[in-house]
Chains A and B, each alone.
Chain A
Amino acid sequence: MEEKQQAKPETPQSSQIITDTTGSSSKSKSLLYITVIVILILIAGGAYLLLHKKGTTQTQQVTQNTSSQPTPVISPVTSANADQTLNNTDSSMQQSINQANTDLNSINNIDKSQDSTSGL
């Protein structure tokens, strides 16, 4: 009962209602702004994800193409990247030769006597 009695005086007057309407209008405006911002963020995020996903798919496709067909996609060699291209290709060759050496050493280290049938 006491609570009801206390609640009564809080009933808004007509002037207050006008003020509140103005407040709700500004509130709805800010709500609108927020909504627009959120939508923009969502669109931007969605676009980013879409582009990122597309990029990944493209990379996978390139990898698959490279893997199924050994011929890779080489961008045009220009005066700007000639030096770097040759340098990178040289590094790639060096890596492959090193790997081949490692593999050949592994083959040399195989104990072939384990395939002897003597004593069986």
Chain B
Amino acid sequence: MKIFKFSIILTITSILLAQSIIPVFAQNLGGQRLINDVNRMQNQASHAAQTQKNQLQNIIKRADDLIANRLTSLNTLSTRLQNDSRLSASEKSSLSSDIQTDINGLTTLKAKIDADTDVTMARSDIKQIITNYYVYVMFEPKIRLLIVFNNLQTVTANLQALLPQIQNLINTFRSQGKDVSQLQSLLNDVSSQLQIINTTIANDMTTIQNVSISTQNPSSVFSQVHQDIAQIVRSGFTKIRSDFSQMRPLFHQLIFTHSSITITPTQTTSPTNTSSSSPTP
């Protein structure tokens, strides 16, 4: 009986003891989990911050490379422009100003990106290197085409100024009773070709000047202009050269086979020396 009582008391005591100890254990186990959770979260945050920092550094490095490439291309373009011997000072100044605007813009953008502390902002800024300038898709082809057209315009202007002079000479021969029908026909063709070339160049220049970063698919515009240069301008010049090559023996024949014409030795220098002697840039 005694043993029975003792066992009951022991059981009750054990239960009471257990009830008072278990929560303490439970509390300790929960706190550890919390600490673990906090540590884990801290580690995650630290890792995320490190990842963001790395991402930011990568973006900045990439942006610097993109800008450096563009600045190199723009400076090369500027050198090409400045070395051109046919372009007028105003043409050079205008195109050079456009190039400088892009150089300045990209330099400012580089400074901004280098100072960026936020990945989202840096990502937005790096895209601007492309979308605000389109150096390779739009800007460089545009400037190079304008250089081409300005050069061609100089040549056509020289030709245009030459035509009345040739016409005067033909008129002189005509007034002396010479047959100038072939020469006149060839000169008319030169004039006609020149008109076509001038119209094409003027239209294409307007088209190119209107191309901007907002132009949808500028490559297709440039492609059309390329085609015009190849098909109209180049072939027009080829025809004019062919006309000139036919005119030269005709003039030669008129000058040397008919002794009635006095050759004035005063005009020995070529009137087109300025245009022809200018070196290819």
- Whether A85 pairs with B155 at a CB distance below 8 angstroms is no
Q: How many A-B residue pairs have CB under 8 A?
A: 179
Task: Judge whether A117 is part of the interface by a CB distance below 8 angstroms.
Answer: yes
CB distance from B34 to the nearest CB of A (A): 42
Among B3-11, B24-32, B99-107, B126-134, the one that faces the other chain is: B126-134
- Whether A77 pairs with B168 at a CB distance below 8 angstroms is yes
In the bound complex, how far is the Cα of B40 from the Cα of A22, in angstroms?
A: 120
Query: Interface residue tally of chain A, by bracket?
Result: 35 or more
Task: Judge whether A1 is part of the interface by a CB distance below 8 angstroms.
Answer: no
Task: Judge whether A89 is part of the interface by a CB distance below 8 angstroms.
Answer: yes
In the bound complex, how far is the Cα of B268 from the Cα of A72, in angstroms?
A: 18
Q: Which of A74, A80, A82, A95 contacts B280 (CB 8 A)?
A: A95
Question: Interface size on B (CB < 8 Å)?
Answer: 76
Among residues 113 to 145 in chain B, which have CB atoms less than 8 Å away from a CB atom of chain A?
A: 123, 126-127, 130-131, 134-138, 140-141, 144-145
CB distance from A93 to the nearest CB of B (A): 5
In the bound complex, how far is the Cα of B147 from the Cα of A85, in angstroms?
A: 26
- Whether B244 pairs with A89 at a CB distance below 8 angstroms is yes
CB distance from B118 to the nearest CB of A (A): 16
Q: Which of B87, B157, B248 contacts A72 (CB 8 A)?
A: B157
Given A96-B155, A110-B140, do A88 and B272 touch, yes or no (CB 8 Å)? yes
Task: Judge whether A4 is part of the interface by a CB distance below 8 angstroms.
Answer: no
Q: Which of B127, B154, B222, B272 contacts A85 (CB 8 A)?
A: B272
Interface string of B65-95 (1 = CB under 8 A from A): 0100100000000000000001111110000
- Whether A78 pairs with B267 at a CB distance below 8 angstroms is yes
Task: Judge whether B200 is part of the interface by a CB distance below 8 angstroms.
Answer: no
Task: Judge whether A81 is part of the interface by a CB distance below 8 angstroms.
Answer: yes
Among residues 75 to 94 in chain A, which have CB atoms less than 8 Å away from a CB atom of chain B?
A: 75-94
Closest to B172 in A: A79
In the bound complex, how far is the Cα of B87 from the Cα of A111, in angstroms?
A: 26
Closest to B222 in A: A107
- Whether A115 pairs with B137 at a CB distance below 8 angstroms is yes
Candidate in A79, A95, A99, A117 with the most chain B CB atoms within 10 angstroms = A79
- Whether B269 pairs with A81 at a CB distance below 8 angstroms is yes
Task: Judge whether A58 is part of the interface by a CB distance below 8 angstroms.
Answer: no
Task: Judge whether B184 is part of the interface by a CB distance below 8 angstroms.
Answer: no
- Whether B273 pairs with A71 at a CB distance below 8 angstroms is no
In the bound complex, how far is the Cα of B190 from the Cα of A86, in angstroms?
A: 12
Closest to A96 in B: B155
Task: Judge whether B161 is part of the interface by a CB distance below 8 angstroms.
Answer: yes
CB distance from B236 to the nearest CB of A (A): 10
Task: Judge whether B18 is part of the interface by a CB distance below 8 angstroms.
Answer: no
Interface residues of A (CB under 8 A from B): 62, 64, 66-68, 70-100, 103-104, 106-107, 110-112, 114-117, 120
| 5 tightest Cβ-Cβ pairs between the two chains A and B | A67-B88, A70-B157, A77-B165, A75-B271, A88-B276
